[in-house]
Structure 1
Amino acid sequence: MTHVLACIDGSAQAAAVCDCAAWASRRLGAPLTLLHVLDQQQYPVSGDLSGIIGLGSREFLLQELATLDERRAKLALEEGRMLLDSARQRAIMAGVAQPECRQRHGDLVETLHELQDETRLLVIGRQGEDSGDAIQHIGSQLESVIRALHRPILVTPGRFAAPQSLMLAFDGSATSRKGVELLTGSPLFRDMPIHLVMVGSETGDAQAQLEAARDRLSASGFEVHIAVRNGDVEPTLHGYQAEHGIDLLVMGAYGHSRIRQFFVGSTTTSMIRTTSTPLLLLR
């Protein structure tokens, strides 16, 4: 798990993905890999059309269509190379010494799963190139990627600015405690004020869990703020984030507790869709 892996495509968010990945690569001291996947459904590999011989007048048309598909695939491949080259130059300008470029023909989720063992952090845009222009629309494959990978995933909106503070949605679960350990040991978050926010009733147990997490982070030199807020998870977290000007949200993905459960179903889509800052999802 050594590389920061960035998904580059032809969407308007590709620049933000590149900038975010370059920032993470520098902070982590990890190599940056820029990945472009040519969708095999949109640009399939040309097949053997010998089975159509004997169809008479249709044969010529089918051959022409096959040739056209091959040309489209070649153009898409070249476009992908140009996108990667542009992203590489942008990353170099941002201070990354030797970003690597990879291009694959296949399924995005399957490709990311294959590269999972060498991935330390995945950076991906909220929208892909097929997502349209709607600002709050999310990419059709994003949820599948989140479900399939067991690596931290940093989702970027349309613009990226280096975060100066962060909030961890904390619920006392094993995932959120793991999040505390990640914050403690990762150079990605060094020198950032951290807000630990629990959504739920303000009980003695909740306060004790927050204080234990705060003490763990404080011992590592972080400035830590804790809070318990009542309300629905999504608006409560976004409200606290806006109130305190926090520009990076960290949360666990999947599970059964109140905070983690909202990552199953429509609330996941809503949370990712409505965030205006990078969102780091932990597995």
Structure 2
Amino acid sequence: MSEVLACIDGSTTAAAVCDYAVWASQRLQAPLSLLHVLDKTQYPQRSDLSGIIGLGTREHLLEELASVDQQHSKRALDQSHQILEAAQARAIQAGTDTPLMRQRHGSLVESLVAFEDSIRLLVIGRHGATNDTVSEHVGSQLEGVTRTVQRPTLITCGDFLAPQNYLFAYDGSFTARKALQMVASSPLLQGLHCHLLMVGSDSATCHTLLDEAAEVLKTSASEVTLVWREADVEPSIRAYQLQQKVDLLVMGAYGHSRIRQFLLGSTTTQLIASSICPLLILR
């Protein structure tokens, strides 16, 4: 796991994805790669229509259809290359070394699984090119990515803003403690103010767990603010984000509490959709 991989498409979110990927690459001192995936719907393949139109009697029509398919494919490839070149130029202008451009055919999930072993951090936009203007709507492939790719994933929304603070949604579970260790040992969030939030009904237990977690973070965070809420997870997180103007939401992907039920249940996309800032999901 050595590189920051940014998923670039033709949507308006591509600029923010590129900017966050550059920021992460510089913080992690890791190389940056830009990936654009050509879905099959973007470059129609030639079909065998001989049985329908009668091979031989309408051979010229077959040739015409093949030519149209080739033109569609070429346009899609040219557009893909232009998208990657624009992202590469933006990244270079932001001060990073020349990123590697990668172009793949097929599905986004399959492409990311193929690169999974080399990914240190995946950066992807919340909206895709097919639902670019839909407010608080998750890209059609994003949920599949977050459930399949077993690498830390940074999901962007809105314009780029270099994070100065982050909200860590903590539940005290074994996997949440592992995620906390990842944050504490990684240069990605080093020196930022951490808001450590826990949702639960037992305040005494919550405060004990929060104090223990704060000890883990004290060497990496510039400041740790402990927060306990008894209400539901999603409204609590959203309200705190708004109140404190949080720049980044951080969550472990697995746990054993109400946060786990919320994140892994059918409302996974609700959390991603409702967040007013980028979301970092840790595996």
Partner of 1:28: 28
Partner of 1:122: 122
| Aligned residue runs from structure 1 range 116-155, under 5 A | 116-155=116-155
Distance 1:243 1:53 in 2: 64
What letter is aligned with 2:138? I
Identify which range, 207-216 or 5-14, moves more after superposition: 207-216
Partner of 1:84: 84
CA 181–222 in structure 1, closer or farther in 2 if over 3 Å, else same: farther
Contact 2:166 2:247 (8 Å CA) reproduced = yes
Distance 2:103 2:49 in 1: 27
Distance 1:224 1:46 in 2: 58
TM-score (norm 2): 0.94
Partner of 2:60: 60
Structure 2 runs not aligned, ≥5 long = none
Structure 1 runs not aligned, ≥5 long = none
Distance 1:240 1:264 in 2: 21
RMSD of aligned residue pairs (Cα, Å): 1.9
Identify which range, 170-179 or 80-89, moves more after superposition: 170-179
CA shift at 1:246, angstroms?
1.2
Partner of 2:275: 275
Contact 1:202 1:229 (8 Å CA) reproduced = no
CA 132–222 in structure 1, closer or farther in 2 if over 3 Å, else same: closer
CA 117–243 in structure 1, closer or farther in 2 if over 3 Å, else same: same
**Overall identity of the aligned pairs, in %:** 54
- For residues 106-144 of structure 1, give each alpha carbon's deviation from its aligned partner in whole angstroms, at most 9, with x where no partner exists: 111000001000000000000111114112121100000
- For residues 218-276 of structure 1, give each alpha carbon's deviation from its aligned partner in whole angstroms, at most 9, with x where no partner exists: 14454111111011111101111221221100012245421022123442212111222
CA 57–273 in structure 1, closer or farther in 2 if over 3 Å, else same: farther
What letter is aligned with 2:135? I
Identify which range, 224-233 or 38-47, moves more after superposition: 38-47
Partner of 2:164: 164
- For residues 56-106 of structure 1, give each alpha carbon's deviation from its aligned partner in whole angstroms, at most 9, with x where no partner exists: 655433432232122111101000100100000000111101211111111
Identify which range, 166-175 or 56-65, moves more after superposition: 56-65
CA 11–281 in structure 1, closer or farther in 2 if over 3 Å, else same: same
TM-score (norm 1): 0.94
CA 161–77 in structure 1, closer or farther in 2 if over 3 Å, else same: same
